[in-house]
Amino acid sequence: MSKRENESTAKELKEKLFMQKKNAYIRMSDSEIKKCDKFCEGYKKFLDEAKTEREAAAVIEREAKSAGFVKFDKKKKYKAGDKVYLVNREKAVILAVIGSEPVDRGVNLLAAHIDSPRLDMKQNPLIEKEEVGYFKSHYYGGIKKYQWTTVPMSLHGVIVKADGTKITVKIGEDENDPVFCVSDLLPHLASAQMKRPATEIIKGEELNIIVGTRPFKDDEISESVKLNLLSILNKKYGITEADFLSAELEAVPAFKARDIGFDRSLVGAYGQDDRVCAYTELMAILEAKNPKKTAVAILTDKEETGSDGNTGLQSSYLKYFIADLAAVFGVKTRDVLANSKCLSADVNAAYDPTFSDVFEKNNSCVLNGGVCVTKYTGSRGKSGTSDASAEFVGEIRAVLDKNNVIWQTGELGKVDIGGGGTVAKYIANLDVDTIDVGVPVISMHAPYEITAKTDIYAAYKAFEAFIDS
Ligand code: MN
Ligand code: MN
């Protein structure tokens, strides 16, 4: 064999034996890129419109209705092709498209979460300190607290008055609205602050949101800035200070979703964990046509605080929906669950070349590598993980490959560095084959998170393929 022949054999062998790791952009045709970019325009609109779990649930319900979904009624009979939905306490949604196969052969579940890290207002939030009015906050989810200062914030949520009337609040999204902000110390005076550990550069009780500075025009009384603010709120919403006690107000970054980069390859926005999987999952189920298996899309709340509570996936609301579905068809809940499959649709940490030392390159997902399939999550010895079986990974792999979905694998950072979990284990605990599949994210849990458009589109394609499998 000549040297040249040997070289070409090595090249062929390499192509045959090595894993394909080409950039998704190279692997996609021009027309696919066009479709991908267009898809992401819809995604950005969704991000701007649905910044909290309540807003996301409302948008999802609206889109479901216009796609022909009707409220699930456990007393009704359903047939293949019927589309139903259920809203749990305005914060979580389940959508289902009835398949042609009996439900006790299992359903195909997709589960994403629609809550994101943010600053929640305390129940007694309004204070005045030296003629500056603040809302006291309690952060929600795992954040680097210092990232949330000097960022324009909008305020979203509801206030329930003692008579039961509910007021919806959304200030700071319209260009003419005011915004709110947490202050930070100027560097000139921060030498002591800069010596604090990073977890305390900004302490929880320093996440005070500036809400006003003009006093009520009467010098005689104390706390006149607070009085003036309450007077403004009373005129606008008809509320008094006590009404905050029964309110849920959330401060989130006020900026809109934008393209990032000269090539517009990335999306920058607040709350992409996990609304990037929520949107792609939603689009996949809204467009589902006559699936064999019943398709169920869950868009849940409270993932970022551990999935506890009645709108989180540690509660029984999913199990009860499956039980009601089983009852409609006169089959056993446990048979439906045992034969079901689930893609836990949540983001993973994309390899960040600037901070490469926390990643193990060979087992990290990368931007533009496609949707990421994660066999197991957890931390330090797979603690708290749902570890999908090799058989189930094989099944999902076949579905993705058969449908030309661009995908990669990746785990969350180096073994001893940290880790994290998703809702996968709570669904797997119901006796469902479950695996994590989601979009790689840079700067996860920061006020501004980054994803790649090709990966977003690949996630949508993966969920579509799963529904049709
Ligand atoms: Mn997540
Ligand atoms: Mn998260």
Closest ligand, as measured to the CA of 422: 1
Closest ligand, as measured to the CA of 276: 1
The Å distance, Cα 274 to ligand 2 centre, comes to 7
Q: Which two tokens stand for residue 52?
A: 């909290």
In tens, the pLDDT along 134-193 reads 999 999 999 999 999 999 999 999 999 999 999 999 999 999 999 999 999 999 999 999
In tens, the pLDDT along 317-358 reads 999 999 999 999 999 999 999 999 999 999 999 999 999 999
The Å distance, Cα 400 to ligand 1 centre, comes to 22
Cα 456-458-464 angle, rounded to 5 deg: 110
The Å distance, Cα 420 to ligand 1 centre, comes to 9
The Å distance, Cα 114 to ligand 1 centre, comes to 9
Domains delineated in the chain: 19-116+270-467 (3.40.630.10), 118-253 (2.30.250.10)
Quote the CA–CA distance of 122 and 37 in Å, as a whole number: 40
The Å distance, Cα 355 to ligand 1 centre, comes to 20
The Å distance, Cα 283 to ligand 2 centre, comes to 21
φ, ψ of residue 359 to 5 degrees: the values are -105, 150
Cα→Cα distances 115→85, 279, 453, Å: 19, 13, 21
CA torsion sign for 202, 208, 210, 213 is negative
Closest ligand, as measured to the CA of 304: 2
Cis peptide leading into 259, omega within 30 of 0?
no
Task: Record the pTM.
Answer: 0.96
In tens, the pLDDT along 29-48 reads 999 999 999 999 999 999 99
**Confidence class for position 416, pLDDT limits 50, 70, 90:** confident
